[in-house]
């Protein structure tokens, strides 16, 4: 971004110039970042988990899910304002990315579900193990 000689750009001007070439935003990490963060927070809150409760693989799958889902949401928003089928009968090129991102989000969500189910199973095992140890301590006393 070039600045006008003698005058720096205001934050509003910087934001406007950053958005000038943005179409749907699905390929822009900067445009998607706030949505990804809010999706992670919302999903973790609904699951009753924190990121640190997940394994490294769980955090990676969560990130993959939220990034691909954010792309789907960004393209959905763009499609609300732009025609799905143009007057010449063609569709926007972004639809290829849309279906790839949609498929990736569905697959990542399923993987995340399995990881969380494993965590829950492990927690039950730990809880029953601790209960068994507590019972054993009582017997010894």
Task: Please tell me the predicted confidence (pLDDT) of residue 25.
Answer: 62
pLDDT by residue (tens digit) across 2-24? 555 678 878 876 665 555 445 55
What DSSP assignment string belongs to 14-79? HHHHHHTT-SS-TT-HHHHHHHHHHHHHHHHHHHT--GGGS-HHHHHHHHHHHHHHHHHHHHHHHH
pTM for the predicted model, two decimal places: 0.69
């Amino acid at each position: 971004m070039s600045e006008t000689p003698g005058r720096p750009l205001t934050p509003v001007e910087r934001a406007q110039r950053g958005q000038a070439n943005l179409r749907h935003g699905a390929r822009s990490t900067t445009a998607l970042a706030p949505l990804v963060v809010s999706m992670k927070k919302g999903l973790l809150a609904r699951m009753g988990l924190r990121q640190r409760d997940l394994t490294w693989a769980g955090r990676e799958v969560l990130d993959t899910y939220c990034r691909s889902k954010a792309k789907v949401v960004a393209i959905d928003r763009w499609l609300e304002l732009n025609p799905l089928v143009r007057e010449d009968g063609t569709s926007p090129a972004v639809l290829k990315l849309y279906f790839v991102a949609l498929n990736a989000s569905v697959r990542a969500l399923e993987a995340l579900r399995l990881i969380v189910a494993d965590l829950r199973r492990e927690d039950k095992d730990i809880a029953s193990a601790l209960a068994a140890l507590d019972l054993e301590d009582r017997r010894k006393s």
